[in-house]
Every structure is written in structure tokens, then in C-alpha cells.
Amino acid sequence: MTVRTAELLMGIALALASLAFMYKSTDGLSIGWVAGSGPGAGAWPFWLSAVMFLSCVAIVIRTVMRITVQSRSDEIFMDREAVYLIGVTTVALAALLLGTYYIGIYISLMVFLMFFLRVLGGHTWTLSIVLTIAIPIVVFVFFEYLLVIPLPKGMSEPLFYPIYDLMY
Amino acid sequence: MGEILPLLGQGLLESLEPLNLTMLLIGCVVGLFIGAMPGLGSVNGVAILLPVTFLVPPNAAIIFLAAIYYGAMYGGAISSITLGIPGSSTAVATVFDGRPLASQGRADYALSIAAIASFIGGTISVVLFTLFAPPLAAFALRFGPPETFALMMLAFATFVGLGGDDIPKTIFSICIGLVLAAVGLDIVSGRPRLIFFDLSGFYHGVNFLVLAIGIYGIGEMLWTLEQTRGDVQVHKVKTSLRSLFDNLKRVKEYFMTSVMGSVLGYFVGILPAAGATPGSLMAYGMAKAMANDPDTYGKGNPKGVAAPESANNAASTGSMLPMLTLGIPGSPTTAILLGGMIIWGLRPGPLLFTEHPDFVWGLIGSLYIANLATLIFNLAMIPLFVKVLTLKFTILAPVIFVLCIVGGYAPEQSLHDVWLMLLFGVAGYLLRKLDYPVAPAVLAIVLGPLAEQSLRQSLLLSQGEMSIFVTRPLSLMFLLAGVALFIYPLFVAWRRRRRDAARTVEGTTGT
């Protein structure tokens, strides 16, 4: 995909998103003047989304007319290696979040770190293992102990009972 | 003047309290590190580490974050000089002459210039800040909702007029930030707004941190991963501490350049759209234009390092002026600081000076201390930082991702926010590849609630008459300035087109 195509697709996608925002702003809300209470609740997001839509239209028109730098560029938007690197990282992050619901954030973090350091980064086993263990511990101490913000643990919750006993 | 000194003294004392001083020193070191790492700048550091500051009281937290901001401005020069790649965008101009100096074997000299010039920039701008802030805050106390709204419009107009990015893309970025700020329960009517797919997570709104960490944490890491292909080039650098101190004596070579850069940087920094990056580039350009020997620039002129380095530090202080006095951030980093202040329950704006003087003056005092502390750390720890720079990016990236995920969860404790953050991160990365400016969106989501509130209050005051914004002199002035900024790029484009047309005519008649 060239930069020009990407620019065009992005402009269209954002225009559609703007329309969705406009539609959603009218969803049971007033976009005009409400007597006695000023502009309706939907007015602010509706009219701003309308401006968003117009600027997207301008972006698309300028792309079609080849006015902007991007619209004249026939370079590759993302080469194969970039797609792989960004794709794998994004999927790994999504898997980390998905895993959080089931096996809890700590075990997910360990899997994520191991994958990123050992598989993607190609670092030594020693370094990977040390960081995989150390980082979740630091996160635990900081957030659970110092800030008292419990992070989601999913089904791994029972593993933490002995630590809770020590803490509280 | 007489009133400022005791307040400043109190602020200095407050920033020397054990907790505050500790946070300040840690902040300086962390900032230096963040600034030095390619791919991380002050805005990334402040966005990613803001959730961490929930541990300490607001006064210590803002001192910590301001110290990071400060340290990052110093740190950027380290990799610009030793690696030849800017540690952050604010240090781009430092590469021009810093890199040639380093290849001549004078990296230590360049590093000491950067440190001293940063110190000069920091000092001058903090003094200017101390003098300007109280009167500006006093002036801003007269603002009503229409003035506040008009001023925000002016702030957004600076992005259109001075941002230098594609105008429709800039406008889109501003509006999406303002719209995202409206998600959740409407304060006036209590009605839920923009609850997409009926997800309950949208009821608490889109926290500005979700957008900021998404763009400046996740998005920035993806961007850097692509740029470096997972690997930062490792360069061997030699620096000796001994010669560093000999170099300090040569300050007078570039002292005046630094002073000029500082003043320029400070005033550029105040504008929301311009900041440390354009400020340092402008200072470099000005130093070169005013030099007797412009040819030596780009070939290792010490002044070419001093000008941008003094300017970027001065700009970072400058951007705090509108944040503290008017409640309008002067840069993306201060936008995040401003959002932090709202989380801590402080209302940014002129009232801050009368309602929370300890907070304001503690911050100002801390800037003086941070400036000195960073200079010392910087000079003493340069060999260490140079070593740290050889760290592989694939070690740093997962650590930052973990900080982002946990930091995005902490404020609202909802996984919905973390998903949203990941979405913003990927979207921000793609948009950045297409040159959409993302800073306006971050500024807009922070200012959004306040902007909407002031608009609705103004319209209630005037019974729905839009004319309220033009009948009040101050608000009219702000709006006119905003309109001028909107027209400015169109005027520039029109003039260029006319000149090009004239040139083609000349060309045809000449042949």
C-alpha cells in the first residue's frame, strides 16, 4: 500500500468515524437550544464532530487533487518488516490484556515479557528470566502495596492469598 | 517585586523539604535518562509516570514531574552529541553542531556547552517566569466565562497558525480531542453522552491520561520500534571528566548566544503550538543569522550547541507560564501536568495563586533547585548516561509497555480504559505516519471540559446570544487574534503562490 492510498483510506475512515460521532451525539440528546438551560447536551459534540467531518472531507479532496505531500507520495506506507514488528507487538499487547481477564495481569505480564525479551528481542535466557520475574514484583510492590490499587488477577487470585496475609 | 521575594523564599524552602527534595532529585535523574534515550522525551516521561505520582501529595508530585520535564531538556543533548541522533525532538537542532564537534573528538566540550547553556536558559527563564507569573495571574482574575472560552479558542488557533502542519489535519486533531472530552455524563444535564456500543466503561468518560499514554507511550514505542527496527545503534564514545571542567571556563565564548536563545525560547515556549522544538530551531537560526561567521555553523561551532540548548530549557519553563496563570498549557507536556492538577483536585487558572500559593510557589522554587541539581548531575554523570545509551531498545520497550498498561489501568481501575489506550496508541501511530499532528488532540482533551463549560456558561449569561463573545473587549481581542492566526497560513500560501507566479512570468520573459 502506498502512502497515497493510506492517506485516502485514513481520510475516509475518519470521515465515517466523524459521522458516527455526529449520529451518536443526537442519540436522545438535544443539539440545539434548550429553553432555560442553554445549549443541549448533544450540541457540543455534534457541532464539533461536524467540523471533524468537514475537515476529513477537505483531507480527502486535497488527497484526490494531489495537493498534500502524502497524496503525491508513492512510497510504501509500511514495509513488510514494519508490518511484522508493529503487528506482532500490537497482538502481544492485546493478548496481554485479554489474558488479564483470565489468568490475571501478573502471569500475563510474565508471558508478555518472556515473549518480548526472549523471542522478539533475542536476549539471553538469564536476562529474560531476571526481568520477567523482577518487573512484575516491582509492579506488585508499587501498585498493590504502596498505592493500594489492586490489579486484576483473574483465576490466579488464590496464589496471592499468602502475600495478602503478609501485607495486611 | 517586594511581594514576590518572600513568596519565592517560601517556595524555595518548601522545595527543600525532605520529601520534595527527594522527589526533585529522583525526577532530575529520571528526566536526564528519559531525555537521553532516543524515542523518549519529556512528554512521554511525564505521561507514562504521572500515575506513579499518585503515591505522593500533589505538591511533591508536580515537583517530580517538573523535574522530569527539566531533566529531559538537558538529557536530549547527550544522545544528540554522542550518538548523532536526537534524544528527543527538542534536541534536534543540537545535532547540527554537536555531532561535528563530537566527530572532531570534542564530545566532552560539546556536552559541557550543552549543560552550561541549558543552565543559563533555565535560570533566565525561571527569573522571567517569577516576574511575569503573578501579574499575569492577577490580570487573568478578571476573566469571565466568555474570556476563558475566547482564550482557549486562541490557544487552539495557534496550532492552526503556527503549528506548521496540514490545516485540515490540525483542525481534525483539535476537534477529536474536544469531542472525546465530552464522552460520559454531561455535567449540566446529567445525561450520558457518546456511550458507544453501550459499553459501561464510557460512562466515566475518556480520561485524558488514556489518550496521552496511548499516544505518547504505546504509539511512541511503536514508532520507535519501527524506526530503530528494535535496535538502537551502539556507538563507542569517550568522555573524560577532567577535561569537562576545563571546558567550563570557556563559557564567555557562547554566553551571549545562550542569553539570546533563552529569551527567544522563553517567549516561543509560552505559545501552545510552538514549544521547545521550534524554539530551539529558531534560536539556532537566529544565532546563525546574527553570526559573523555563519559558515562555521554545522561544522562544530560551540554557539550552534549553546543556542538550541538554552532555548529548549527556556521554552519548557515558558510553557508553564500560561499553564499556571491562565490554565492553558503551553505545550503537550504541560497539558499533561494540567490534567494531573485536575486529578489532584486543583483548579488550574489564576485562582491557583491565591488559593494554593504553597503549590504554585513550591513548584516555582523547585525549578530553581532543579536547574542547579540537573546541571550538577549532568556534568557528573555524563559517562554513566553514555553507557546507558547503549541499552538495547528491546529491553526498554517492554518495560515501557508494562508501565503504560498498569499506568492506564490505575486512574479509573478499568480494563476498558486500557483497551481504549491500546486503540489510541495504534491509531496515534498510524496518524503520525501520515503527519497528523497529535499534540493538539492531547491539549484539547485536557481543556475540553473547561472549554465546553465556559461556552455554555457564556451563552446562559447572554440568553443564547453569540454576540457576548464580541461585545466584551478582552474576549473580542482574543478572538480577533485567533482569527488572525487562522488567516495567517492562508496569507502565506497566497503570497507564495503570487511570488511563484511572478517568477514564472519573469522566467518566460527572460528567455
- How high is the pLDDT of residue A38? 74
**Cα–Cα distance for residue pair B474/B298, rounded to 1 Å:** 45
Q: In terms of domains, do A8 and A25 share one?
A: yes
Q: Is the pLDDT of residue B299 over 90?
A: no
Q: Which three cell numbers stand for residue A168?
A: 495486611
- How high is the pLDDT of residue B176? 94
Q: What percent of chain A has pLDDT over 70?
A: 99
Would you tell me how many other CB atoms lie within 10 Å of the CB of residue A44? 25
**Cα–Cα distance for residue pair A127/B35, rounded to 1 Å:** 25
pLDDT one-digit tens code per residue, A94-139: 999 999 999 999 999 999 999 999 988 888 899 999 999 999 999 9
Strand bridging mode A38-39 / A33-34: antiparallel
CA distance B196 to chain A (A): 8
Q: Which three cell numbers stand for residue B365?
A: 522554587
Q: Report CA torsion sign: B388, B393, B394, B398.
A: positive
Contact between A97 and B188 using a beta-carbon 8 Å cutoff: no
- How high is the pLDDT of residue B239? 57
| Buried residues in B214-229 as b, exposed as e (16+ CB within 10 A) | bbbbbbbbbbbbbebe
Residue-number span of the structural domain to which A44 is assigned: 3-72
Q: At what angle do helices B107-140 and B4-15 cross, to 10 degrees?
A: 130
| Residues in contact with B489: Cβ distance below 8 Å, sequence separation at least 6, in sequence order | B160, B161, B167
Averaged pLDDT for residues B434-462: 88
Half-sphere exposure (Cβ direction) of B272: Cα atoms closer than 13 Å: 31
- How high is the pLDDT of residue A9? 93
Contact between A39 and B171 using a beta-carbon 8 Å cutoff: no
Q: In terms of domains, do A17 and A86 share one?
A: no
Q: Which three cell numbers stand for residue A13?
A: 475512515
- Domain total of chain A: 2
The amino acid present at A63, given as its one-letter code, is: T
Q: Judge contact between B333 and B319, C-beta under 8 A.
A: yes
Which of B171, B175, B191 is closest, CB to CB, to A41?
Answer: B191
Q: Is the pLDDT of residue A150 over 70?
A: yes
pLDDT one-digit tens code per residue, B74-112: 888 888 887 777 777 788 888 888 888 887 877 778 888
CA distance A165 to chain B (A): 22
CA B397, distance to chain mean position in Å, is 22
**Cα–Cα distance for residue pair B122/B272, rounded to 1 Å:** 19
Q: In terms of domains, do A101 and A68 share one?
A: no
**Cα–Cα distance for residue pair B191/B244, rounded to 1 Å:** 63
Q: In terms of domains, do A110 and A38 share one?
A: no
Q: Please give the span between the terminal C-alpha atoms of chain A, in angstroms, as a whole number.
A: 56
- DSSP readout, B257-280? HHHHHHHHHHHHHHSSS--HHHHH
> Pseudo-torsion of CA B245, B247, B253, B255, nearest 10°?
-40
CA distance A18 to chain B (A): 9
Residues of A in contact with B225 (CB under 8 A): 85-86, 89
Most confident of A65-79, B94-108, B160-174, B416-430: B416-430
Residues of B in contact with A56 (CB under 8 A): 168, 172
Q: Is the pLDDT of residue B154 over 60?
A: yes
Q: In terms of domains, do A31 and A68 share one?
A: yes
Q: In terms of domains, do A152 and A91 share one?
A: yes
Average pLDDT, chain B: 85
Radius of gyration of chain B (CA): 23
Q: Is the pLDDT of residue A10 over 60?
A: yes
CA distance A66 to chain B (A): 13
pLDDT one-digit tens code per residue, B117-143: 999 999 999 999 998 888 888 888 888
Residue ending a domain, among A51, A72, A93, is: A72
Q: Which three cell numbers stand for residue B375?
A: 546541571
pLDDT one-digit tens code per residue, B480-496: 988 888 888 888 888 88
Contact between B229 and A81 using a beta-carbon 8 Å cutoff: yes
**Cα–Cα distance for residue pair B98/B108, rounded to 1 Å:** 10
CA distance A149 to chain B (A): 7
Q: What percent of chain B has pLDDT over 70?
A: 95
**Cα–Cα distance for residue pair B154/B169, rounded to 1 Å:** 18
Q: Is the pLDDT of residue A19 over 90?
A: yes
pLDDT one-digit tens code per residue, B353-377: 888 888 999 999 999 999 999 988 8
Q: In terms of domains, do A88 and A113 share one?
A: yes
Q: In terms of domains, do A58 and A98 share one?
A: no
Identify the CA nearest to B148 among candidates B392, B455, B416, B384.
B455
Residue ending a domain, among A39, A72, A105, is: A72
Identify the CA nearest to B386 among candidates B175, B222, B214, B232.
B232
- DSSP readout, A74-115? -SBSS-HHHHHHHHHHHHHHHHHHHHHHHHHHHHHHHHHHHI
Average pLDDT, chain A: 88
* Whether A83 contacts chain B with CB within 8 A: no
Q: In terms of domains, do A48 and A94 share one?
A: no
Q: In terms of domains, do A53 and A84 share one?
A: no
**Cα–Cα distance for residue pair B422/A93, rounded to 1 Å:** 8
Helix (H, G, I), strand (E, B) or coil at B67: helix
| Buried residues in B295-308 as b, exposed as e (16+ CB within 10 A) | ebbeebbbbbbbbb
Q: In terms of domains, do A62 and A85 share one?
A: no
Q: Please give the DSSP secondary-structure letter assigned to residue B235.
A: -
Helix (H, G, I), strand (E, B) or coil at B340: helix
Contact between A44 and B433 using a beta-carbon 8 Å cutoff: no
Chain A, 88 to 127: residues with Cβ < 8 Å from chain B are: 89-90, 93-94, 96-97, 100-101, 105, 109, 112-113, 116-117, 120-123, 127
Q: In terms of domains, do A68 and A85 share one?
A: no
Q: Judge contact between B91 and B227, C-beta under 8 A.
A: no
**Cα–Cα distance for residue pair B89/B280, rounded to 1 Å:** 10
Residues of B in contact with A110 (CB under 8 A): none
- How high is the pLDDT of residue B505? 62
Contact between A135 and B402 using a beta-carbon 8 Å cutoff: yes
Half-sphere exposure (Cβ direction) of A34: Cα atoms closer than 13 Å: 14
Most confident of B9-13, B177-181, B225-229: B177-181
- How high is the pLDDT of residue B189? 79
Residue ending a domain, among A53, A72, A91, is: A72
